[in-house]
């Protein structure tokens, strides 16, 4: 019904959409040569199955057995859903590349290139078995094999529109690099939602309703549970390791971000240089503002994922530990005061005359500011580098000030 939401299974996307996809609307998941959009499509299918929807999946890219094997490596297992009758898979691959059918098994399209028969079988199955969703994986395959691609585009547009008339929604993946610009625009006409997923960025390219976030995209990585937003990925060490890639040009990538491994001595020398060059007061101010600058806008992004500040900060502390920044924990938290204790923070400096981790105070204060929309200030009041047993940070709300 109008106004009902369907969860995508990717919380960050649901937040951007204002709760998820609206029920009754079609979704196209567009991508490129990396094929990440196809994985995202099956993330979505798996989420729909968990919400007890009934799905007809037409698979043109590969044999269903190969699809099952591939998806299991990303934590997606369709076998139980097939056994329970919630998911039916029509094989549109096995007879695709042969002039006469080599497989006459049930649920195998006899000649996928015969568009009139193919669409009739799909439509009849949707109506007869009352499926909630038709999933097409992938619209690009048949397009590349057509003598007249424009005829194929028109037939697919009619199919998607007719499926909607019967009360079902269509979700389809496609590689936009394969289509001419005009054919692509025409094929996407019946899809109210268009999600572009490629090269580490997922973007809401079309939505029938206003988005709830000024940012219509988010960076992602491929993990053991499929497509995962980067904001969620690095709370787990295994995901972090799997996201590190070194290319032939000497670039080290963490997901889609270029990074460099920095040894502790190098970072410590930077802190020492700042104090020696600027002096104690200006050096501390510089490090504090550096921390704030690095985290600017991050709290606003995380607010879309977490409803309360404590949960958001817990995620931040966990990510800090996974990324090698040291161990942070709560000492006290009220509406106006946050006290955190840290040990083995990066970089480790011994017998240092000044506070060495002031940037942590700036980063946390900026995070809380962006999350709450109120002015907060932070200070490092104890530092292991000065001989204390631990570092301690006090983050206070500045009264009667909003940002």
Q: How many residues does the chain have?
A: 403
Query: What is the distance between the alpha carbons of residues 175 and 273, in angstroms, rounded to a whole number?
Result: 51
Q: Mean pLDDT of residues grouped by 10 in the chain (403 residues)?
A: 79 88 95 94 95 95 92 92 94 81 75 90 92 94 91 95 93 95 96 93 93 81 81 65 79 76 86 93 95 88 80 86 86 92 92 94 95 94 94 91 61
Res 1: pLDDT:
47
Res 111: pLDDT:
87
- For the chain, domains (ranges, CATH) are 5-229 (3.40.50.300), 264-402 (3.30.1380.20)
Query: What is the distance between the alpha carbons of residues 144 and 155, in angstroms, rounded to a whole number?
Result: 15
Query: What is the distance between the alpha carbons of residues 175 and 189, in angstroms, rounded to a whole number?
Result: 16
Query: What DSSP designation does 326 have?
Result: -
Res 297: pLDDT:
83
Q: Is 313 exposed, middle or buried (0-12, 13-18, 19+ CB in 10 A)?
A: buried
| 3-state helix vs strand vs coil in the chain, percent to 5 | 40, 25, 35
């Amino acid at each position: 019904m109008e106004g009902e939401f369907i969860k995508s299974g990717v919380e960050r996307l649901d937040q951007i959409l204002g709760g998820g996809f609206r029920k009754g609307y079609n979704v196209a998941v567009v991508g490129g040569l990396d094929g990440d959009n196809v994985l995202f499509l099956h993330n979505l299918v798996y989420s729909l199955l968990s919400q007890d929807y009934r799905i007809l999946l037409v698979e043109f890219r590969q044999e269903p057995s190969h699809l099952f094997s591939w998806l299991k490596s990303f934590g997606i297992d369709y076998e139980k859903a097939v056994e329970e009758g919630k998911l039916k898979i029509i094989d549109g691959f096995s007879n695709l590349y042969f002039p006469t059918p080599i497989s006459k098994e049930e649920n195998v399209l006899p000649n996928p290139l015969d568009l009139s028969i193919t669409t009739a079988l799909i439509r009849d199955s949707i109506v007869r078995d009352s499926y909630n969703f038709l999933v097409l994986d992938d619209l690009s395959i048949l397009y590349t094999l057509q003598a007249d691609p424009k005829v194929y585009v028109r037939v697919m547009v009619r199919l998607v529109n007719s499926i909607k008339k019967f009360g079902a929604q269509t979700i389809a993946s496609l590689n936009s690099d394969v289509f001419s610009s005009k054919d692509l625009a025409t094929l996407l006409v019946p899809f109210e939602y268009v999600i572009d997923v490629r090269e580490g960025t997922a973007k809401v390219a079309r939505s029938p309703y206003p988005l709830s976030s000024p940012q219509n995209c988010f960076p992602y990585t491929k993990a053991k549970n499929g497509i995962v937003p980067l904001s969620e990925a690095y709370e787990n060490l295994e995901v972090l390791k799997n996201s590190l890639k070194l290319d032939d040009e000497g670039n080290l990538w963490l997901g889609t971000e270029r990074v460099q491994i920095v040894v502790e001595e190098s970072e410590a020398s930077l802190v020492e240089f700042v104090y020696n060059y600027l002096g104690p007061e200006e050096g501390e101010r510089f490090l504090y503002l550096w921390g704030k600058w690095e985290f600017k806008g991050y709290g606003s992004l995380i607010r879309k994922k977490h409803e309360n500040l404590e949960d958001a900060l817990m995620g931040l502390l966990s990510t800090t530990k996974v990324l090698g920044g040291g161990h942070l924990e709560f000492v006290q938290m009220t509406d106006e005061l946050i006290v955190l204790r840290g040990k083995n923070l990066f970089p480790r400096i011994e017998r240092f005359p000044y506070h060495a981790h002031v940037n942590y105070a700036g980063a946390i204060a900026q995070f809380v500011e962006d999350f709450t929309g109120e002015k907060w200030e932070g200070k490092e009041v104890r530092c292991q580098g000065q001989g204390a047993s631990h570092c301690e940070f006090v983050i206070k709300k500045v009264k009667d000030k909003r940002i």
